[in-house]
Amino acid sequence: MRILLVEDNLRLSTFVRRGLENEDFIVDGVGTLCDAEAAIETAPYDAVVLDLGLPDGDGLDLLKNLRAAGNSVPVLVLTARDDVDDRVRGLNAGADDYMLKPFAVEELTARLRALLRRPDGALGLSLTAGNITFDTTAREVRVGNQRIKISRREMGVLEQLMRRAGRVVPKDILESKLYGFDEDVSSNSLEANISRLRKRLIQVNASVSIHTLRGVGYLLSDGNDG
């Protein structure tokens, strides 16, 4: 997994790089727009981590040029500015995700993995959370090494929750992913599926838990969080 890290602060770049390398990413670090452009032309990157305030210009220009040239490499933007306008500008320019400084390196790697896990991303189609792995092509769920059997609907719920592990999945989005337009969704059927899935996960000693947040949605968290 080869990542281009564009960050002009040498110390920040060093530590972030160390963090990513510990997670088995291969990292090339550059400190200017000019070097970043050259790097992107010469090597195929799976993702780019891009700081916006660079000594020779705005990182957003690089991003715009990339997108204009039809390059769809996932880009995660790092910035010290948190104005809503800046965020919107960044996402409009084609950023895939956005992180405000300072950030936990652990979260950066988690978000990078999420980007790489997208349908055309480099990480393939295996999802992990706690001790669960979900092979989305073979439709197989494992807890540890043990393959477990769950219904198609429960699997669908689990997949959506694992794709956004640690974040809220709104109820209506979950429903729209799981049921066809003309299918009759009785109001409790999603809850019923979730509660069956929850019981099943406890049964097989999965280290994750599914939280129901009334009026908000559902969240799958690493079990230690209670």
| Closer CB to other proteins, 74 or 217, in the complex | 217
CB of 147 to other proteins, least distance (A): 28
CB of 82 to other proteins, least distance (A): 7
| Closer CB to other proteins, 19 or 94, in the complex | 19
Please answer whether residues 50 and 28 qualify as being in contact, where contact means their C-beta atoms are separated by less than 8 angstroms.
no
CB of 51 to other proteins, least distance (A): 9
| Closer CB to other proteins, 57 or 170, in the complex | 170
Across 41-67, b (16+ Cβ under 10 Å) vs e yields: eeeebbbbbbbbebeeeebbebbeebe
Strand 75-79 to 47-51 pairing: parallel
Bridge partners of residue 5, in order along the sequence? 29, 49
Please answer whether residues 177 and 160 qualify as being in contact, where contact means their C-beta atoms are separated by less than 8 angstroms.
yes
**List of residues contacting other proteins (CB under 8 A):** 9, 11-12, 15-16, 18-19, 22, 78, 80-82, 84, 100-106, 166-168, 170, 211, 213-217, 219, 221, 225-226
CB of 102 to other proteins, least distance (A): 4
One-letter amino acid at 3 equals: I
